[in-house]
Structure 1
Amino acid sequence: MNLSFFDQFMSPTMLGIPLILLAMTIPWLLYASPTDRWLNNRLTTLQAWFLASFTKQLMLPLSIKGYKWALPLTSLMIFLITMNLLGLLPYTFTPTTQLSLNLGLAVPFWLATVLIGLRNQPTAALGHLLPEGTPTLLIPILIIIETISLFIRPLALGVRLTANLTAGHLLIQLISTAVFVLMPMMPTTAIITAIVLFLLTLLEIAVAMIQAYVFVLLLSLYLQENT
């Protein structure tokens, strides 16, 4: 019996234990922990430089009140990047292809930014629901539209990440299957297809990093509106 192409996106289990827990734990074990030494090795130094550069770039447009979000947002981006990249390896499972996980990350962070805005500056937070200079007849309609757009933000965050990774993994599987089928019949076509597969894999590596960055960047923009 042939397996479905979408079986790779099912959460695997072993002895009744979901392996998604293991896949979410592994990223934290791959990074070197900082030490108290004056000089660190090259890996730790490169890791610290990357984290400092990203945090500086992410916090640049935010006010001082938003700087306390530096640690959770940076940790979230590293977590997403690592899971996305590990999911490109053969015989692995990508937790971020599960919409439930992505919504579980997007909804709490989005809700936290909204609650911070309502607590610190309620007038400005509610003012986003009604643009300045709106005609009186359009006020009820615009309030409804802006409210819907506000509540659809976490859904858009989760669906964007899920759809991009799912589409990329599915395309890689389709092309790799075509390579194995064409190899005995048309070797030249199979080699050309394998080159396309290699280029697509490089593209998916870039997509895995970019989507993690976009996820965190949009959260920082939501935070910027409410601080």
Structure 2
Amino acid sequence: MTLSFFDQFSITTYLGIPLVALALVLPWILIPTPQKRCLNNRLITLQAWFIRQFTHQLFMPINKEGHKWALLLASLLIFLMTLNLLGILPYTFTPTTQLSMNMGFAVPLWLAAVLIGVRNQLTHTLAHFLPVGTPGPLIPILIVIETISLLIRPIALGVRLTANLTAGHLLIQLISTAAFAMTSIMPTVSLLTMALLLLLTILELAVAVIQAYVFVLLLSLYLQESV
């Protein structure tokens, strides 16, 4: 049976259990929970410091009405970051390479931000569709363009996360396959290719963290327009 490079992104089952379900549960098991004590260990202290710094930077330009989203967005960041990092390990499945899952995160949160804007400040939300001073003949065209740009936001969120992680995983698999194939033929070139693979893996670790942060950051920007 010949496997393709894209088989690593197909959802498989083991003993009747879909692996994507196990991958989604695993981050919540690995993340330590703070205890009710005066002093926590170094890992929990570092985790609390990271969450505090992240929420401070993310919600600093947002008014107090948007601070209710702090727990949701901080949890989403840690969840996506853990999924992305675990997906780099060998023999693992990365759920965030599935567009359907990423859209499942993007669409409800984007829609919630839009509905909050419609409920709290309807005039300000509708004003985004038509800039001040627009010439009369351009009004219908600009309304259509702004509507399309609004509707395409969740698609851009999901596609960006999926494309970046899928491209990185494919590139790692291609380079590793070439490195092992050249081991007996050209050992020197194979070693250089493995060094390149190590650098690419480090880059993929950074991409896994950055893409999770960008996903949550764009959601906060959409929220900032609505509160």
Q: TM-score range by the shorter chain?
A: over 0.9
Aligned mates of 1:76, 1:224 — CA distance in 2: 17
Report % sequence identity.
Answer: 69
> Which residue number in structure 1 is paired with residue 31 of structure 2?
31
Structure 1 residue 16, shift from structure 2 partner: 3.1
Q: Aligned with 1:115: secondary structure?
A: helix
CA offsets 1:87-140 (integer angstroms, 9 cap, x no match)? 000000000000000000000000000000000000001111111111100000
Aligned mates of 1:205, 1:132 — CA distance in 2: 44
> Which residue number in structure 2 is paired with residue 215 of structure 1?
215
Structure 1 unaligned runs (5+)?
A: none
Further displaced range: 105-114 or 126-135: 126-135
> Which residue number in structure 1 is paired with residue 12 of structure 2?
12
Aligned mates of 1:16, 1:139 — CA distance in 2: 56
> Which residue number in structure 2 is paired with residue 68 of structure 1?
68
Structure 1 residue 19, shift from structure 2 partner: 1.4
Structure 2 unaligned runs (5+)?
A: none
Structure 1 residue 225, shift from structure 2 partner: 0.4
Structure 1 residue 207, shift from structure 2 partner: 0.3
Matches within 5 A, 1:110-189: 110-189=110-189
> Which residue number in structure 2 is paired with residue 193 of structure 1?
193
> Which residue number in structure 1 is paired with residue 226 of structure 2?
226
Structure 1 residue 15, shift from structure 2 partner: 3.0
Structure 1 residue 31, shift from structure 2 partner: 1.3
> Which residue number in structure 2 is paired with residue 84 of structure 1?
84
CA offsets 1:4-59 (integer angstroms, 9 cap, x no match)? 00000001112333111110010011111111100111111111111111111111
Matches within 5 A, 1:88-99: 88-99=88-99
Aligned mates of 1:19, 1:175 — CA distance in 2: 25
Runs of 4+ in 1 over 4 A off after TM superposition: none
TM-score with structure 2 setting the length: 0.99
Q: Aligned with 1:61: secondary structure?
A: coil
- Alignment length, in residue pairs? 227
Q: Aligned with 2:92: secondary structure?
A: coil
